[in-house]
Structure 1
Amino acid sequence: MKKIAFIITLFVFAISYSQKKKDIYLFTSFREPATAGLYLAYSEDGYNWKGLEGSFLKPEIGASKIMRDPSIVRGGDNTYHMVWTTDWKGGNGFGYASSKDLIHWSKQEYIPVMKNEPEVVNVWAPEIFYDDVKKEYIIIWASTIPFRFEKGIEEEKNNHRMYYVTTKDFKTFSEAKLYYDPGFSVIDCVIVKKGKKDYVLVLKDNTRPMRKIEVAFGKSPLGPFSKRSEPLTEYLSEGPTVVKVAEKWLLYYDNYGSKNYKALSTSDFVHFEDVSSKISLPEGHKHGTITTISEEVLKGLVEKK
């Protein structure tokens, strides 16, 4: 009986410990006109989000000194690495900073990833993906280089393609290369690891008649990506981000045409269910990305305010 009681006690302790150490979902955001910096919201269930008041990092770099599209990932070093758009137009790079607790940040750096291009219109919405196989970070973003690609239906200065660099330490970066060219203007891409060798690229078709979100599939985080889906969202939607909650993936997106936020649920990225009625976000929330934090980190963020 004593042995059974001991085993039960260990089991209860293990459950209690796991509950105490559960991860919290964290959603990065910004506010227009994007000069205030980083805003954060948190959730215990991945559906209902509570805003943390005020800015947690004010932008200091880039000609415009703005922070749009903050993308954050917790890397293999248990450090949060963040990149963001520093200029709406102009500039040849993006912002970068890191933190252990999302309160104390490293010095902000400007990473001129397109410095070798004689003319680049923009560097938009950099997105970080941590490749746990190669133990490196992949950063993708959208840029327009006039007359580089077939014009199509977009103006030369609005004909975006996706580019990327890789890094292991955010000190040295690979040369910028073309990441994704679907044959039309594309922005706001997000890499999702669906399985051991299955990856999904969530993207925005940014051509004027479309401006909707789609997905494509590949066997590597660097592509190639094929079998592009039909549009998943309505006209004038952007800024997708994806988080796994239980056995489902939630694809959040900024439905900016209707000035609201929406979400789709899927288990395979083929069949989707609109779960927008089940989500809630802070007023003014603009698109960023979702990662996880510990309860200890959340406690620090709450107490800071």
Structure 2
Amino acid sequence: MSSRCFREISELSRCVGVILCCLVLAACTTDDSHILATDNDTVLLFASFRGNGQDGLHLAVSEDGLNWQALRQDQSFLTPKVGTQLMRDPVIIQGPGQQFHMVWTSGWEDAGIGIAHSSNLKDWSEQQFLPVMADFPEARNAWAPEIFYDETTQRYWIYWASTLPGKYPDSEKQADKGWDHRIYATSTKDFKTYSPTRLFYEPGFNVIDSTLIQQGNEYVMIAKDETRYPPAKNLFITRASSLEGPWQKRLAPFTPGGVWAEGPAAVFWRGWYYVYYDQYIDHSFGVMRTRNFTDWENLTPQLTMPPGTRHGSVLVVPRSLVGSL
């Protein structure tokens, strides 16, 4: 090969390399929203209940976080069999090993909760009743349990709201019929042995319906101020650097004034934190989103949910999984 030919081939290779580099850089600088909008691998799944929770678990799917469609013609996926045989406030997470874990309120005055596990959201393990308040025989209830996997401790944390009569006499006077709640918790690595139930969050007032989501190195708790006299019935944010606390002073309520909200369900989706909540007086649902848990955008007017949806949880799942349900 002549030196001239060699130089021409080398120059051509250099030009091709420059063109390829430009194409790669162009792809890397494409607007993120465009990249996310073309990501069709995942969808959102909402777990909820109907009525009083007698018929069990209902699931709905959404492509955009705003328009939700019931699965199985809104028939139940799982019938409750433990406790008082209700399945209220179902919360599903996916933990290590691609396993799904669900907890729920099994009855209005049960001193425990329901729990079950699944690999595909269709076939569930035998339901178990966890007597989480067994060490507190005076406990009136165990409401709205949630489950959270903490990668730092490699433990599952299960937490819920319970009332211990006479425990907090001042705030008890401001509670509906004396149901004055605080958040309690237990943790486990294997769902066989559990740590002793402990007080998890005590803000100094009646609080229920707490849910956790991680933002960077902080844990964000969203909860309901359940004070009745005078009525609060709103959702607020508090933060901590550890699940052991201490929890910071709560921020001002972020749900709209005049709306009695409960049952927050939070998910990180396409660059935003979405928080859904049950507007239970109006028998409707609301949703707000934020990037920092300080500035909020109310998307409720754009939200459509299956009729009768009551609060539970939301998670990101593979599209293929929903197609098999």
- On whether the aligned pair clears a TM of 0.5, the verdict is yes
The counterpart of 1:23, out of the listed 42, 55, 74, is 42
Q: Where does residue 39 of structure 1 map in the other structure?
A: 58
Q: Where does residue 168 of structure 1 map in the other structure?
A: 189
The answer to whether the aligner puts 1:151 opposite 2:170 as a matched pair is: yes
Q: Where does residue 267 of structure 2 map in the other structure?
A: 243
Deviation track 1:81-140 (CA, whole Å, cap 9, x = no partner) reads: 000000112x21100000010100000000001111121100000001111222211111
Deviates more, 1:232-241 or 1:200-209: 232-241
The answer to whether the aligner puts 1:206 opposite 2:230 as a matched pair is: no
Task: Give the number of aligned pairs.
Answer: 294
The answer to whether the aligner puts 1:99 opposite 2:123 as a matched pair is: no
Report the alpha carbon displacement of residue 220 of structure 1 after superposing the two structures with TM.
Answer: 1.6
Report the alpha carbon displacement of residue 75 of structure 1 after superposing the two structures with TM.
Answer: 0.2
Structure 2 matches for 1:71-220, cutoff 5 A? 71-89=91-109, 91-152=110-171, 153-154=174-175, 157-195=178-216, 197-208=217-228, 209-220=231-242
Give, as a single letter, the amino acid of the residue that structure 2 aligns with 1:160.
Answer: H
Give, as a single letter, the amino acid of the residue that structure 2 aligns with 1:240.
Answer: P
Q: Where does residue 15 of structure 1 map in the other structure?
A: none
Deviation track 1:199-241 (CA, whole Å, cap 9, x = no partner) reads: 2110100011111111111112332211311122244210001
Deviates more, 1:166-175 or 1:20-29: 20-29
Q: Where does residue 16 of structure 1 map in the other structure?
A: none
* C-alpha RMSD of the superposition: 2.5
Deviation track 1:21-72 (CA, whole Å, cap 9, x = no partner) reads: 712211100001211000001112222211112111000110x211000011
Structure 2 matches for 1:265-284, cutoff 5 A? 265-284=289-308
Runs of 5+ in structure 2 lacking a partner?
1-11, 28-37
Deviation track 1:162-209 (CA, whole Å, cap 9, x = no partner) reads: 0000111111110000000111110000011011x1121101000111
The answer to whether the aligner puts 1:229 opposite 2:251 as a matched pair is: yes
- Per the alignment, in what secondary structure is the counterpart of residue 321 of structure 2? helix
Q: Where does residue 280 of structure 2 map in the other structure?
A: 256
TM-score w.r.t. the length of structure 2 is: 0.84
Report the alpha carbon displacement of residue 251 of structure 1 after superposing the two structures with TM.
Answer: 1.0
Distance 1:299 1:270 in 2: 36
Distance 1:297 1:155 in 2: 42
TM-score w.r.t. the length of structure 1 is: 0.89
Over the matched positions of the two proteins, sequence identity in percent amounts to 38
- Per the alignment, in what secondary structure is the counterpart of residue 287 of structure 1? strand
Report the alpha carbon displacement of residue 150 of structure 1 after superposing the two structures with TM.
Answer: 3.2
Give, as a single letter, the amino acid of the residue that structure 2 aligns with 1:165.
Answer: T
Give, as a single letter, the amino acid of the residue that structure 2 aligns with 1:224.
Answer: P
Runs of 5+ in structure 1 lacking a partner?
13-18
Distance 1:210 1:296 in 2: 42
